[in-house]
Amino acid sequence: MKRIGVFFGSTCGNTETVIKQAVRLLRNAGAQVDLYDIADATVSQMDPYTNLILASSTWDNGELQGDWVEVYEQFCEYDFSGKTIALLALGDQYIYDAYFVDALEWLATPIRRNHGRLIGFWPIKDYRFRRSRSVEGDHFLGLAIDVENQNNLTEKRLRQWTAQILPQFDG
């Protein structure tokens, strides 16, 4: 059975709601999933996990969610060697169209620098935004969710994304 540590930061509850939907889908698919709110967790609690999902909302001018900011220095120093990580971020592609889901890039940069393996890239088609630091080619660095403007697509995207990442995790 695949064991996955899920760490999220949520200010208004949207990220928590979305990540709990993802956790339900993963558990229904047979994965063992442990869920942590980064506000009450430490970065070192990622140690026992080979498989991680990290989730954050994007704030203001492309900033990381506040609870992630509190642990970001330790996160940037963490050794991700041997870990497979999928990322998920929330954002508003219309109001914050120049910073859409920039939280993905905030999380991806230290992971890559510190030897982690990123999976779960997501196509940018069907989104409307001006710019995002979290785009490489025609994909986001993880799943992009916009509950403000495309909430009707959230469940479908989560089903597709969890089905995409689950086989890539170590089991």
Q: What is the pTM of this model?
A: 0.97
Phi-psi region of 147 (alpha: psi -120 to 50; beta: other; left: phi over 0): alpha
| The CATH number of the domain covering residues in 3-168 | 3.40.50.360
- Which residues touch 140 (CB under 8 Å, ≥6 apart)? 89, 101, 104, 121, 122, 123, 124, 132, 134
Place of tokens 């905030």: 106
| 119-136 residues labelled b (16+ CB within 10 A) or e (exposed) | bbbbebeebebeebbbbe
DSSP 8-class letter at 70: H
* C-alpha angle 87-90-92 in degrees, rounded to nearest 5: 145
Place of tokens 């990622």: 46
Note the pLDDT tens digit of each residue in 119-156.
Answer: 999 999 999 999 999 999 999 999 999 999 999 999 99
Note the pLDDT tens digit of each residue in 43-97.
Answer: 999 999 999 999 999 998 999 999 999 999 999 999 999 999 999 999 999 999 9
- Residue 7's Cβ-count burial label (10 Å; 0-12, 13-18, 19+) is buried
**Quick one: pLDDT at residue 146?**
98
Phi-psi region of 37 (alpha: psi -120 to 50; beta: other; left: phi over 0): beta
Note the pLDDT tens digit of each residue in 33-55.
Answer: 999 999 999 999 999 999 999 99
**Quick one: pLDDT at residue 2?**
86
- Largest Cα–Cα distance in the chain? 41
